[in-house]
Chains A and B, each alone.
Chain A
Amino acid sequence: MKTQIDIVTGFLGSGKTTFINELLESYRLSKGRIVILQCETGEIEIDNQIIEGKNVYLKSVVKNSSFDSNYISEVIKKHLPQRIIIEHNGMEKLEDLLNILNERSIRKNCVIGTIVHMIDAATFDVFMNNMGSILIEQISNSDTIILNNSEGYSKTQLTNVERTLKAINKTAEIVRNSSLEHKEHKLIKQRKPSDILFAVFFFLVVGYFTHTVLMTLDFKLAAIDLSRFQVINTVFLSILIQAFPFILFGVIISSIIQVFVSNERIVKFFPKKNGIGFIVAIFAGFLFPVCDCAIVPIAARLVKKGVPLPTALTFMLAAPIVNPLVIASTFYAFPGQPSIVFFRLFLGIFIALAVGMTFLFFSEEKSVTLNSLDSIMCRCGYCGDSTVTNGFTGKVDAIFRHAGAEFFEVGRFLIIGAFLSGMVQTLLPKDILSNIGGGNIVSLIIMMLSAFLLSVCSTSDAFIARTFVNQFPMGAVMGFMIVGPMLDVKNLLMLLGNFKKQFVINLVFVIFVLALIVLSFFLLISVLFYGG
């Protein structure tokens, strides 16, 4: 039987020791022999009364510099514990501890059980703003996050905290205001093997098996059954094949900027005066070719660093459209029709400016940003990752790693989009679509909504938009290409993570209404250029 090692992390005063005390008090946990390794001592100490008479050994390693794998091995040899609970020092990286535990000598005898992160709701925001990177590192490695001291907080405040936590660590369980029973249950619970992976393998194996059997046993039947699906598949893959190079190019450029250009330099770039600010905001996108999903945290940071809100918004909305990569991919998706590229740019900038102006006149008095961290909300990649970038090789390394991470983040949305598009292409009777469409406002709204839902990265959405040309008027397809980069599902999630809810609602409303007005006007005119 391997020794199970549980880790309790969290900043000083977050309630780690109290939590361990509670655990020790519980009956079930204390059946076996337990060793507690304290790397930190705060105001509260492990209660001797609880330990007494039980098989619990307390070791303080606060000032012990030789806390390494040998030390743990010796502890195990000496006490033969069933369980080790490590109270981790909240000021240190959890990864260092995990690296120790991952050494071969430890792995032989031990298994890491649960990592619990304790958070004091009262101090979370303060800590997050000042010591974000350490906190993020610990949270992202945790299995369970316990939100202490949450009684005095309103629901929305707590939801905000939880949203931040979810953004950092999607898989962790967040326990709020829980009873001891509940907490204990979390820690005692045996970890299950990953069943998702198993499901994937199962699916692949079964799928491949069925496919092979069908193909050999009754080729004709299988061919008929699969033909429709094959068409979807071909369309789907063909969208992927042509979009992947662009996505990869995009993530590499974005990574280079991430690694070589500091946020501070970007912030300095924006003049504080409105007039010039708007102009800079529009053209800044040329210089920072980031995708629409990387732009939200940057815009939020701009606002926090004192760039006026209207300017930052204009930048946020225009950048994904004036992005050189987006221009290039639009040009390739609509070969020989540079007018489409021009209109996309012109209308995009126009709407971005209009939204910015609207917020200039109806300026928000209060601060609109959430007081939480911003960089990690970007789902594009590891923007908040504290990658040590030393020297040129280190930077090249960082670029490709970042690009890889970003590719997997962005690619997901592209794949979903391409698949839906393939389905629409193949299965949806085209006369229905063209009946709905037919040059009116409804087709424009449908296109705007599908842009919102498909959430395709702006660097490749032109290819998807291209596929709608047969069914929808050009003006409506333009709506797809303009609204998509400004607003979509993944963008909205990030907006909510960075800005206050009321502001996001206002913003979405303003973007949608302005885009609808401008684009319907364009729709009427575009019939002249592109026909019905």
Chain B
Amino acid sequence: MLISRSNRVNLDAVLKIFILLGFALFFFIIIHTGKIQLYVNPRIVPYVKFCIVVMVIISLFLCRDIFKPRRKVSLTPYLFFLLPLFMAFSLPAKSMNSTSMAFGDVTLTNTDNSQSSSTTDFVQTVPDTTDSALKLQDDTIFVRDNNFVQWIEEIYTNMSKYEGKKIEIIGFVFKDKELRENEFVPARLMMACCTADLQPMGLLCQYVKASELKKDSWIKVTGTIKAIDYKGQKTPAIKADKVENTIKPENEYVYPY
């Protein structure tokens, strides 16, 4: 098929509209199916909706140009847009876990060290409103999807207040070579903005049969919080009474806000 240079339609405008509507459609589909949670923090969703509206409006304005043939059309710039569009539609979003981020091991090592430092950041800034959500039920801390990050930070910050309290937490088994035989972390991946900044987060857990737990499997841990000495730092940890397998939560990620 040869595309004549003196084409009747303006290829430039057609491609622009195709790309704009393509992205708008992609955004619409992922919002509609909820897959957008695999890509970005739900907080971004309203912005993405705004993006869809603007893209549609711009393409409406471009529509008039379709039949105004323009001579000089350089198509190479549009390659950059067509490729991600193609990738967006052809490849399903991959939900990350610590294995799929194969090189992420090192990041995970850092987490235990950086967790304390990253929490100090949040201490100054986490709005007070989250505190109201953090309530004990029957003297037990129930760490759930919607308060995971808040609870972990709260426990790190006010360690002494929660020492000896009962805790129930759901996460995947995270192991690292720096952890001892009887230790593991029931962790969740925290997404601040998008997939690019996923970070595992959790509380250190001491459990006799920790070595029998399968890496990345989803578990529910029930236990007691106590302060232990980890690498010379006083760190909150869970002394597990019971670890049982559980199903993977609908949304694997947790969000700091």
Contact = CB atoms under 8 A, between A and B. Distances in A.
Q: Main secondary structure on chain A at its contact with chain B?
A: helix
Contact of A335 (B58, B104, B110, B256): B256
A206 to B, nearest CB: 11
Contacts of B62: 401, 404
Contacts of B4: 111, 193
A229 B88 CA distance: 12
Nearest to B47: A245
Contacts of A198: 1, 3
Secondary structure type dominating chain B contacts? helix
B58 A400 contact: yes
A336 B196 contact: no
Given A234-B38, A248-B55, A333 B81 contact: no
A241 B72 contact: no
A137 B206 CA distance: 73
B190 to A, nearest CB: 11
Given A241-B39, A336-B257, A412-B80, A107 B8 contact: yes
A235 B101 CA distance: 11
Nearest to A171: B74
B91 interface: yes
A3 to B, nearest CB: 12
B193 A429 contact: no
B196 A466 contact: yes
A100 interface: no
B3 A194 contact: yes
A249 B72 CA distance: 28
Q: Which residue of B1, B61, B193 has the most chain A CB atoms within 10 A of its CB atom?
A: B193
B20 to A, nearest CB: 8
Contacts of A400: 57-58, 61
B90 interface: yes
Contacts, number: 209
A426 B103 contact: yes
B202 to A, nearest CB: 16
Given A233-B91, A466-B196, A112 B6 contact: yes
B195 A338 contact: no
A272 interface: no
Given A111-B6, A112-B5, A470-B199, A230 B51 contact: no
Nearest to A141: B71
Interface string A397-417: 100110110011101100110
B257 A244 contact: no
A404 B61 contact: yes
Contacts of A204: 82, 86
Interface stretch (B118-126, B169-177, B210-218, B242-250): B118-126
Given A248-B54, A408-B81, 5 more contacts: A171-B72, A204-B82, A226-B91, A238-B194, A411-B80
| 3 A-B pairs with the lowest CB-CB distances in the bound complex, closest first | A531-B117, A238-B194, A245-B47
23 contacts: A115-B71, A193-B5, A194-B11, A227-B94, A233-B91, A237-B87, A237-B88, A241-B36, A242-B48, A248-B51, A248-B54, A248-B55, A252-B54, A332-B193, A333-B193, A401-B62, A404-B62, A408-B77, A408-B81, A422-B196, A427-B103, A470-B110, A530-B121
Interface of B: 1-6, 8, 11, 16, 19-20, 23, 27, 30, 36, 38-41, 44, 47-48, 50-51, 54-55, 57-59, 61-62, 69, 71-84, 86-88, 90-94, 96, 100-104, 106-107, 110, 114, 117-118, 121-122, 125-126, 192-197, 199, 256-257
Interface of A: 98, 102, 107, 111-112, 115, 140-143, 169-172, 191, 193-194, 196-198, 200, 204, 207-208, 211, 226-231, 233-242, 244-246, 248-249, 252, 332-338, 397, 400-401, 403-404, 407-409, 411-412, 415-416, 419, 421-422, 425-431, 434, 463-464, 466-467, 469-471, 530-531
